[in-house]
Amino acid sequence: MQRLAPALRQDNVPLDLISLIKTILAATKEISFRVSQGHLSDLMGSTLDENIQGEVQKELDVVANELLKDILLESGFVKAISSEEEDSSVAGEKNGKYLVSFDPLDGSSNIEINSLIGTIFSIHEAPSDMDASDPDMFKQAGNKQLCAGYVLYGPSTMLVMTTGSGTHFYVLDRTHGGFLLVERNVQVPVDTQEFAVNMSNQRFWQAPMQNYISDLLAGDTGPRGKNFNMRWIAAMVGDIHRVLTRGGIFTYPQDSKNPQQPHKLRLMYEANPMSFLIEQAGGLAMTSEGRIMDMEPNSIHQRVEVIMGSKNEVEACLAYYK
Ligand SMILES: O=P(O)(O)OC[C@H]1O[C@](O)(COP(=O)(O)O)[C@@H](O)[C@@H]1O
Ligand SMILES: [Mg+2]
Ligand SMILES: [Mg+2]
């Protein structure tokens, strides 16, 4: 099995970017170790703080954020970082080439039940003519990402990453401490009979999504003429990993539960990186109005509607909005 750095060189990834990726992964190996300690560590509880989005921070959210932030800001490659757990962007090296956005721990509500969690990251080029403390540097569309990936802390720790030459799967080999390539150019099957959505929000969705999901639930007695299965891991990393592995449609549609917040998932460190991975694997990543990666961001913590996965199924869903 190929090691990470030679696999990236094969895809013509520049050496500086390889070094940055290795820096991110050094932090995720440490997070993976802490996660695997579970109740043996003192990181299982909640802090008394909330992040800027009003969510209670878990001890592991904070530790994972600090590990990534410290190693990235000290690396010399990074002009600034932005994170789910930071109010604004944080300046790094003034001549740094890259910007990194990350969700240090995705699926935090799964921590205490010993279920799937992960780290999601996205890398953009840093504008050379802007100040390192200017958060506007991050206002770049997803289609400008140089690299996106996640590390899934599951029964095995996996890295799923793209640098624009396909989406590849790696596994952390604890015997030598590095990530090994296990599957190159993963492909999301174009058709599927599996969907992922938080059904408890059903009554708050817009009519097109209500109608689409009702038709899936009607199975072979309804207009789709086939039965669908449902899965919901409550961690986007887990759900998207299943979609990349065996196909499916994953959606967090617009809802009216809280009129101040019609969308749940964050553009910069959830939707954009996952969109890059899904598209590089032949899937589609959309809102009901267009391609996620073509959206021009207006803020670091912007939220967005998400409909992504198997190409034909995403198109079938979007047809309800026409
Ligand atoms: O609470 P719900 O509706 O199940 O939402 C689950 C969604 O929220 C998220 O957990 C948000 O991520 P964080 O844990 O990083 O806040 C997504 O990963 C997931 O898809
Ligand atoms: Mg998240
Ligand atoms: Mg998180």
118 C-beta closer than 6 A to ligand 1: no
Nearest ligand (C-alpha, residue 54): 1
Give the CA distances from residue 203 to residues 196, 212, 214, 319, in Å, rounded to whole numbers and listed in that order. Answer: 16, 13, 12, 20
Residue 4 Cα, ligand 2 centroid: separation in angstroms?
25
106 C-beta closer than 6 A to ligand 1: yes
Q: Give 102-115 pLDDT, tens digit per residue.
A: 999 999 999 999 99
With a cut of 80, say whether residue 9 has pLDDT above it. Answer: yes
Q: Which atom in ligand 1 lies closest to the alpha carbon of residue 201? A: 3
First to last CA, the chain: 46
Question: With bands split at pLDDT 50, 70 and 90, how would you rate the model's confidence at 45?
Answer: confident
Question: With bands split at pLDDT 50, 70 and 90, how would you rate the model's confidence at 57?
Answer: confident
Q: Where in the chain is the domain with CATH 3.40.190.80?
A: 194-319
58 annotated as ligand-binding = no
Long-range contacts of 43-46 (CB under 8 A, 24+ apart): 44/111, 44/112
233 C-beta closer than 6 A to ligand 1: no
In the predicted model, what is the mean pLDDT of the chain? Answer: 96
Q: Which atom in ligand 1 lies closest to the alpha carbon of residue 117? A: 14
Q: Which sign does the torsion angle of CA 20, 88, 307, 117 carry?
A: positive
Architecture of domain 4-183: 2-Layer Sandwich (3.30)
Q: Which sign does the torsion angle of CA 313, 233, 209, 263 carry?
A: negative
Q: ipTM of this predicted complex?
A: 0.98
217 C-beta closer than 6 A to ligand 1: no
For ligand 1, atom 2, the nearest C-alpha belongs to: 234
For ligand 1, atom 5, the nearest C-alpha belongs to: 234
Q: Give 112-127 pLDDT, tens digit per residue.
A: 999 999 999 999 999 9
25 annotated as ligand-binding = no
Residue 237 Cα, ligand 1 centroid: separation in angstroms?
9
| More confident call, 53 vs 218 | 218
- Taking the C-alpha atoms of residue 58 and residue 47, their distance in angstroms, rounded to an integer, is 5
- Taking the C-alpha atoms of residue 27 and residue 13, their distance in angstroms, rounded to an integer, is 21
Convert the chain into a string of H (helix), E (strand) and C (coil).
Answer: CCEHHHHHHHCCCCHHHHHHHHHHHHHHHHHHHHHHHHHHCCCCCEEEEECCCCCEEEHHHHHHHHHHHHHHHHCCCEEEEEECCCCCCEECCCCCCEEEEEEEEECHHHHHHCCCEEEEEEEEECCCCCCCCCHHHHCCCHHHCCEEEEEEECCCEEEEEECCCCEEEEEEECCCCEEEEEECCCCCCCCCCEEECCHHHHHHECHHHHHHHHHHHHHHHCCCCCCCEECCCCCHHHHHHHHHHHCCEEEECCECCCCCCCCCEEHHHHHHHHHHHHHHCCCEEECCCCEHHHCCCCCCCCEECEEEECHHHHHHHHHCCC
84 C-beta closer than 6 A to ligand 1: yes
With a cut of 70, say whether residue 48 has pLDDT above it. Answer: no
Residue 293 Cα, ligand 3 centroid: separation in angstroms?
20
Residue 109 Cα, ligand 3 centroid: separation in angstroms?
9
* Mean pLDDT score, 195-217: 98
Q: Where in the chain is the domain with CATH 3.30.540.10?
A: 4-183
Question: With bands split at pLDDT 50, 70 and 90, how would you rate the model's confidence at 148?
Answer: very high
Residue 107 Cα, ligand 2 centroid: separation in angstroms?
6
CB–CB of 285/279 below 8 Å? yes
Residue 82 Cα, ligand 3 centroid: separation in angstroms?
12
- How many residues are there in the chain? 322
**68, 102, 270: which to mutate for ligand 1, most atoms within 8 A of CB?**
270
Lowest mean pLDDT among 40-44, 145-149, 176-180: 40-44
313 annotated as ligand-binding = no
Residue 305 Cα, ligand 3 centroid: separation in angstroms?
17
For ligand 1, atom 4, the nearest C-alpha belongs to: 234
Fold observed for domain 194-319: D-Maltodextrin-Binding Protein; domain 2 (3.40.190)
Question: With bands split at pLDDT 50, 70 and 90, how would you rate the model's confidence at 49?
Answer: confident
Nearest ligand (C-alpha, residue 85): 3
Q: Give 278-296 pLDDT, tens digit per residue.
A: 999 999 999 999 999 999 9
108 C-beta closer than 6 A to ligand 1: yes
